[in-house]
Amino acid sequence: SFSPQKKLERKSSTEGSLAPPSKQTKLWETRRVSQASVDKVVLQFVAQGLHPTHIVQQQGFIVLVQHLQPNTNVMTRNTVVNKVTKASIEMKRKLKATAHHRGFIGVTAHWFNPQTMQRSCAALACKQLKGSHTFSALAGALNDIYTELIIREKIVRTTTDNGSNFLKAFRVYGQTDENNNPEPVGEGDGEKDDGGQNDDYDEEESVEGVEFVDAGALLDEDDYLEYQLPKHHRCACHLLNLVSTVDASKAEINPLYKRLSRSTFAKCSSLWNKSSRSTTASEVIEDHCKLQLVRVVATRWNSLFSAVERIVRITREQGEGALAAVCSELDTPKFTPVELAFLAEYAKTMSPVAKALDVLQGETSVQMGWLVPTITLLRTKLQRLHVASKFCEPLIAALLSSLEKRFGEMLADPELIAAAILVPKFKTCWTSDENILKLGKSLTSQLPLNTCNFYGDSEMSLK
C-alpha cells in the first residue's frame, strides 16, 4: 500500500540534498573545436590527399564541414593556397637548417610477395654520413644497416648510382666470383701443409729462418675484409641518362653536327627562357601555337626531349609560320628550315631512348627481366635509324657506342638473360642470338618445369 507520509519524507530528503541533479551532456557540447583547428584539419586534408585547392569552394564540402562543426567557416581557395605556400617554405627552411652541409644515405628494399606475386617496397634507413663520403664509409654504412636488420643473406643485389665511391665500395668489399664469395686477398695460398714432418728441428735452427716483422704495421694494413657487401648492380636509369647527356655530347666531334646542333639549341634555349620568365610571352606562344612550350629541367634529360618534341609538334600542327611569328614577336632568333629539320630528326632519334628510360623507371610493373630486352630493342631501333639518318648520324653512332660500353656486361649476364626469358611478355622473342639465349636457358633449365614454361612468341616495341 502507498503511504502519503513516505512520499513526503522522500520529497523532503530530495530537497535537502546538496548534490545538483544529473544532466546528460550532448555530443556537440563536449567537442567544441576552434576555428584554427578546423582550418588546420582542412589544410591537412587538401595537402596530404593532393586535392585541388578549389575543393574548399564546393558547396558539398562546405556543408560537410559546417554539419560536423556548426558555427565555423571554411577557408577560401586563396587562403588555402597562401597557407600551403607558407607551410612549404617553412618545411624547406627546417630541412635546410637540419640537413645543411650534412650527408645522408637512403636505403630502400624491393621484393616480391610470394602469395600475390606483387612487388612490395619499404624504406629501410635514412642515415647521416659524417665525414668524407669515401668508399669505405659507404661500405660501413651499408654493412651496419644490413647487420641491424638481419637481411644480409636475403639480399640478391644492391642497386646504386654510378658514383666512383659506390663503385669502388662494391669492387673492394663486394662479391665478385661465381659463388658470390669475396676474392681471396694476399699471397701464400699455394703453400702446402707438411703434416708436421719438420717439428723435430731444434728451436735454434728454426729461429734462424724466421723473418721478424712489425706486428703494429700488419694490424694497420687494410686487407679489405672488414665488410662484406652483396652483389652490385649499377642503376640502369642513371646509365641511360649518362648515355643521353654525357655520351651524346661526343657526337660534337663531327664539326658539321656540332655547328648545326649548337646553333639550333641556342635558339631553343632563347625561346624557352623567354616563355618561362614572362607571362606575356606565354600568352603570345599560346595565341599563335595553341600550345605552351615545355620547360627544361637540368637534372632530367627527359625534359629536354619533351621540350624539343613540343616544338616539333607545334611546327607540324600549326606550321612553321606560327613558330616564326612567335620568334618575331618575342624578339628571339628565328629557326631556319634546316634547323627545324634537325629538331625533327633529333626528336625521332631520341624517342626510343626516352621511351626506354620511361620503361626502366617504372615502379610497380617492371622487374629485372625488363632490362636486357629493353636495351637490346633500343640498340636495334637505333641501328635502323642510323641507315636513313641525314643530320644525326654522329649522334646515333655515339649512342650505340655508349650503350655497348655501359651495358655490354649486363647484356651478357646469364642471370639477367634468364630473368628476361622468364617474363611472359618477352620469353625469347627479343633477340635472335642463340648464344645469348643459351646463357639464360642454362639457368632456367635448373628451375622447376612449371616455372620456366614460358618459351614462345611475344612482342615489345620502342617505336
Give the C-alpha distances (Å, rounded to integers) separating 115 from 112, 119, 227: 9, 11, 34
pLDDT at 375: 94
pLDDT over threshold 70, residue 59: yes
Per-residue model confidence as pLDDT tens digits over 295-353: 888 777 788 899 999 999 999 999 999 999 999 999 999 999 999 999 999 999 999 99
**Cβ count within 10 A of residue 301:** 21
pLDDT at 23: 54
Per-residue model confidence as pLDDT tens digits over 221-274: 555 567 888 888 899 999 999 999 899 999 999 999 999 999 999 999 999 998
pLDDT over threshold 50, residue 203: no
User: Which residues have CB under 8 Å from 212's CB, separation 6+?
Assistant: none
Place of cell 662479391: 175
pLDDT at 181: 45
Categorize the per-residue pLDDT at 187 as very low, low, confident or very high, splitting at 50, 70 and 90: very low
CA-based nearest residue to 411, from 425, 431, 385, 381 = 431
Categorize the per-residue pLDDT at 22 as very low, low, confident or very high, splitting at 50, 70 and 90: low
pLDDT over threshold 50, residue 403: yes
pLDDT at 24: 55
The answer to whether 342 and 312 have CB atoms below 8 angstroms apart is no
The answer to whether 123 and 145 have CB atoms below 8 angstroms apart is no
Question: Which range scores top for mean pLDDT: 14-28, 171-185, 206-220, 365-379?
Answer: 365-379
Q: What mean pLDDT do residues 422-427 have?
A: 86
The whole model's pTM is what? 0.66
What is the DSSP annotation of 83-105? HHHHHHHHHHHHHHHHHTT-EEE
pLDDT over threshold 50, residue 41: yes
Looking at residue 29, its amino acid is E
Report which DSSP code applies to 424.
Answer: T
**Which of 84-88, 143-147, 201-205, 210-214 has the least mean pLDDT?**
201-205
Domain boundaries, the chain: 31-100, 103-173, 237-411
CA-based nearest residue to 227, from 184, 172, 183, 187 = 172
pLDDT over threshold 90, residue 186: no
